[in-house]
A = this chain, B = another copy of it.
Amino acid sequence: MTPFTVGIDIGGTSTKFGLADRSGHVFKQGNLPMSDFVEFQDFFDAMVDAIRKWMGSLSKDYQLAGIGVGAANGNYYHGTIENAVNLRWKGVLPLAKMFTKEFHVPCLVTNDANAAAVGEMVYGNAKGMKDFVIITLGTGLGSGFVCGGVLLNGHNGIAGELGHTSVNPNGRYCNCGKRGCLETYASATGIKRTVYKLLADHLEPSELRGISFEELNTKTISEAAQRGDVVAKEAFEYTGRVLGLKLSDTIVHTDPEAIFLFGGLAQAGPLIFDPTRYHMEKNLMPQFRGRVKLLPSGLENQVAPILGASSLVWDYLEKK
């Protein structure tokens, strides 16, 4: 028998899902645009139909082991998505119960950054590690903690919201309603805001002066920095200074072996890793210095969200 899992990553724009085996091979995958579905039940039925079709095409040797779901506001304890701001369906969506009723296998739900953390442990660069943190640098900043080999869920199932730690209580406005949250500085959106702040404050010429806020993205800033653009380089330096300082706080909370950076901004490589590492070390309590690795994720590709969600099942089954 070859056991396999369904991994589902529910996002605001689209849902990526697929079938994966224990080695990390994704052998079926698909994509549902969220705009196609007015009702939650229709969306759910479309996923079930696709999964059944894929399963029908497999040999009898394959056996479904479980279903994993990563989604913003996913709650591990309840197996639900609760009041997600990025979905049109409000209230509580009882996904685990619904999937288990359809397929008679365990279904695990958690938020997307937690799924990335477990994915890193099961399939990625955190194999064999028991204490680490993953930071996902996308539109916002997500985070997941593994402590003593176990995903940290917290009392209400909402642990790991580092994106909303405070950099400056009078700082940039954040979607959460507060000001000065870490993700308003350290994220794909944060670095854009930093570029615009630098362009406003300084006189230096910069190729970024010709690009609108909407057009600007991490890749553009990254390429400009590699060509020596002063503003783009300073934007990375500033982002790393803020992120490094806050990571030094995180380290003295949980004493991790490593911190992984995941997502578009992390793909800028040394441009973001170097200043982050420098300011992290500089602000660390001396007894922690030189002990915590700052590493790229091992799952930087299109199937990473599917594998993150799949890994929840393997992690659950292997610890039972």
Is B154 in contact with A147, judged by CB distance below 8 angstroms?
yes
Residues of A within 8 A of B (CB-CB), count? 41
Q: Which of A142-184 contact B (CB under 8 A)?
A: 145, 147-148, 150, 152-162, 164-166, 169, 176-178, 181
Among A150, A245, A287, max chain B CB count under 10 A is at A287
Residues of B contacting A157 with CB < 8 Å?
255
Given contacts A155-B257, A253-B253, 12 further A-B contacts (CB under 8 A): A147-B147, A147-B152, A148-B150, A154-B255, A155-B291, A160-B252, A161-B285, A164-B252, A164-B285, A166-B248, A176-B287, A178-B285
Q: List 23 A-B contacts (CB under 8 A).
A: A131-B154, A145-B253, A145-B254, A147-B147, A147-B159, A148-B150, A154-B255, A154-B256, A155-B257, A155-B291, A159-B254, A161-B255, A161-B287, A162-B252, A162-B253, A164-B285, A165-B253, A166-B249, A166-B283, A169-B283, A176-B286, A176-B287, A177-B286
A288 in the interface (beta carbon within 8 A): yes
CA distance A158 to B254 in the complex (A): 8
A139 in the interface (beta carbon within 8 A): no
A250 in the interface (beta carbon within 8 A): yes
Q: Which of A108-157 contact B (CB under 8 A)?
A: 130-131, 145, 147-148, 150, 152-157
CA distance A39 to B155 in the complex (A): 46
What is A's interface to B at a CB cutoff of 8 Å? 130-131, 145, 147-148, 150, 152-162, 164-166, 169, 176-178, 181, 245, 248-250, 252-257, 283, 285-288, 291
